[in-house]
Amino acid sequence: MKAVKQIGNEQVAAFFASLDHPLKPVMEDIRRRILAVDNSITEQIKWKAPSFVHAGTDKITFNVHRNGKLLLIFHRGAKPKPLAKPGRLIEDPTGRLEWPADDRAVLTIGSAHELEQLGDAFEKLVRTWLAAAR
What residue numbers bound the domain in which 74 lies?
Answer: 8-132
In whole angstroms, give the CA distance from residue 121 to residue 22.
24
pLDDT tens by residue, 27-39: 999 999 999 999 9
Residue 1 is assigned to a structural domain of this protein = no
In sequence order, which ranges of the chain are alpha helices (DSSP H)?
8-18, 24-37, 112-118, 120-132
Residue 2 is assigned to a structural domain of this protein = no
Residue 13 is assigned to a structural domain of this protein = yes
Q: Quick one: which of 91, 100, 102, 96 has its CA closest to 118?
A: 96
Residue 42 is assigned to a structural domain of this protein = yes
Residue 3 is assigned to a structural domain of this protein = no
Residue 36 is assigned to a structural domain of this protein = yes
Q: Give how many domains the chain has, as a whole number.
A: 1
Residue 91 is assigned to a structural domain of this protein = yes
Confidence check: pLDDT of 1 > 60: no
pLDDT tens by residue, 49-105: 999 999 999 999 999 876 789 999 999 987 777 888 889 999 998 999 999 999 999
Residue 109 is assigned to a structural domain of this protein = yes
Question: What CATH number did the domain enclosing 67 receive?
Answer: 3.90.1150
Task: Name residues whose C-beta falls within 8 Å of residue 95's C-beta, 6 or more positions apart in sequence.
Answer: none
